[in-house]
Amino acid sequence: MIHLDPIDIKILQLLQANAKKTIKEIAVELHLSTTPIFDRIKKLERLGIIDKYVALVNPDKIGKCLTVLVDVTIKDHSRRGIEDFIDYMIALPEVMECHHVTGDSDVYIKVLLEDMEAYNQFVLTKLSVAPNVGHVQSRFSLSTRKCSTQISVTPQ
């Protein structure tokens, strides 16, 4: 784990809230000059703490209104069996998240699609032909109460 001081933490909090915030804006907010802010951001990037900068798209605005939470049980629990299934899933653009999990299922995926027909096609043409699929259980989100990309950053 990498030690973060209070200024690093505040920079991360500000950038997670708005990645378009300029170095000058961050410097003003933290009462510092731009050079140390620039250097700290570059250090956070170099260390891999800041992984990338992205634009967050509102799924409803582009017609992706159906969120499906899918639990999948796979047949072959060997390393190769698990990796083949996961590699197949993470290559699908509809799959927003893919987790190897413990419990009653082996893999949890979050799928974002237009509607029920699109999910039906996803199941028929992609999920059902994925390598090593055993059992599938789907749950449909009625509403999203929280969806955040911000990771809580606190002093260690």
For residue 51, the surrounding DSSP H or E stretch is none
pLDDT confidence band for 1 (50 / 70 / 90): confident
* Residues 38/96, Cβ–Cβ less than 8 Å: no
Residues 16-52: pLDDT tens digits?
999 999 999 999 999 999 999 999 999 999 999 999 9
Mean pLDDT of the chain: 96
Amino acid 155: pLDDT: 76
Amino acid 59: pLDDT: 95
Amino acid 101: pLDDT: 97
Residues 75-104: pLDDT tens digits?
999 999 999 999 999 999 999 999 999 999
Look at the block and give the residue holding tokens 């509809």. Answer: 94
Residues 116-150: pLDDT tens digits?
999 999 999 999 999 999 999 999 999 999 999 99
Q: How many helices (H) and strands (E) does the chain have?
A: 5, 4
pLDDT of 2 higher than 90: no
Q: pTM, whole model, 2 decimals? A: 0.87
Per-residue tokens: 80? 């190769």
